[in-house]
Every structure is written in C-alpha cells, then in structure tokens.
Amino acid sequence: MSVTLSIRKATSADADGLWQILEPIIRAGETYDFPRETSRQDALLAWLAPDNQCFVACEGDTLLGTYVLHPNRKGGGAHVANCGYMTASDANGKGVARAMCAHSLEVARAEGFRTMQFNFVIARNHRAVKLWTGMGFETVGRIPEAFLHPVHGYTDALVMYRRL
C-alpha cells in the first residue's frame, strides 16, 4: 500500500467526504446499481442506513474510501455478511480497497458472521473481480445481463462468496 491508512467507523461529520467518494461512482453508473441521478440525501441515507455499519478509510483527515457492512439477509440468513466498497477515484490502485476488504473480513469475523457474500459484482468490473478473488472469494453464481452498463450495455453480475 502506498498510503498510510486508518480505518474507522464513519460519523455524521464525514457526510461531505462520503459524498465526494459516492457521487462520481454513482454518476458513472458503471459499478453500482444506484440510479445515476440519485441525490446526495438519498445516497447518504442508503449508505448510512440504520442496518449498515459504515466505515471510512482515511489518510490523515482525507477520506480515501468507504465501506458498509451488514447482514446479507435477516432471520436464518443473518450469519452471512454483505459489504459494499467505494474508493475515491484519486486513490485507485493504492491498496485502499484491499485494506477495506481485509478490515471488513476481520470485523465480520469478530461479530460472529460465518461467511461473506457479494450479491451483485458487475462482471465487467475486472479490477474488483480480481481483487475479490485475490482476497479468497469465489464466484458461485452468474446472473446473465443483470446490469445495464452505460457504455457496454447489458452485462452479467456475479455472486461471490467466502467463508470467514
């Protein structure tokens, strides 16, 4: 990693920094299923939803990434964790996503989750697929043409999974 990173729980004071990370990713519409016109308020409400634990990756006071951790399902599926990660565009390739994933695996394990599952990894997001595979995730399902990519049209989504 080429940055000195700390990862902590997000606070309400992080809203501006979170939006600076979320907005360009949402507007691009290439890796997340948020509608591209999602407002700041709606994006922050979704990311900071009561069922989510939200974390931020920082270098000093600068937010470089964020992730949310929550049960994948309720009831009988609550032992399966789910996460979503976003990295600031100027921090891509600096190990931020890898560090957040490693942190999320530790937190999930400590909280008693038995597995982690990503429900909707865009197959064309080659960087993410390579990273998640390198972190021990395997593709356990493929949903043909599940995502309408703004450049490439309909593309597959992957379900990825690993034991904790």
- The pLDDT-based confidence of 1 (bands split at 50, 70, 90) is very low
Is residue 82, in this structure, part of any structural domain at all?
A: yes
Query: Is residue 141 situated within a structural domain?
Result: yes
Question: Phi and psi (nearest 5°) for 64?
Answer: -110, -15
Beta strands in the chain (DSSP E): 6-9, 53-59, 62-71, 80-87, 115-122, 138-149, 153-163
The count of domains in the chain is: 1
Predicted pLDDT at 54: 98
Question: What percentage of the chain carries pLDDT values higher than 90?
Answer: 92
1 within domain boundaries: no
- Give the pLDDT confidence score for residue 77 in this predicted structure: 94
Confidence of residue 2 (pLDDT cuts 50, 70, 90): low
Q: What is the pLDDT of residues 42-80, one digit of tens each?
A: 999 999 999 999 999 999 989 999 999 999 999 999 999
- Asked whether residue 119 is assigned to any structural domain, the reply reads yes
Residue 126 lies in a domain: yes
Domain that holds residue 99: 6-163
Q: Do residues 156 and 123 touch, judged by C-beta distance below 8 A?
A: yes
Mean pLDDT calculated for residue range 110-122: 97
Q: Which residues contact 10 (CB under 8 A, 6 or more apart)?
A: 18, 48, 54, 55, 56, 66
For residue 92, the model assigns a pLDDT of: 86
Three-state SS at 109: helix
Mean pLDDT of the chain: 95
pLDDT band at 141 (very low <50, low <70, confident <90, very high): very high
Contacts of 135 (CB under 8 A, 6+ apart): 98, 101, 102, 105, 162
In a domain, 107, yes or no: yes
The CATH number linked to 56 is 3.40.630.30
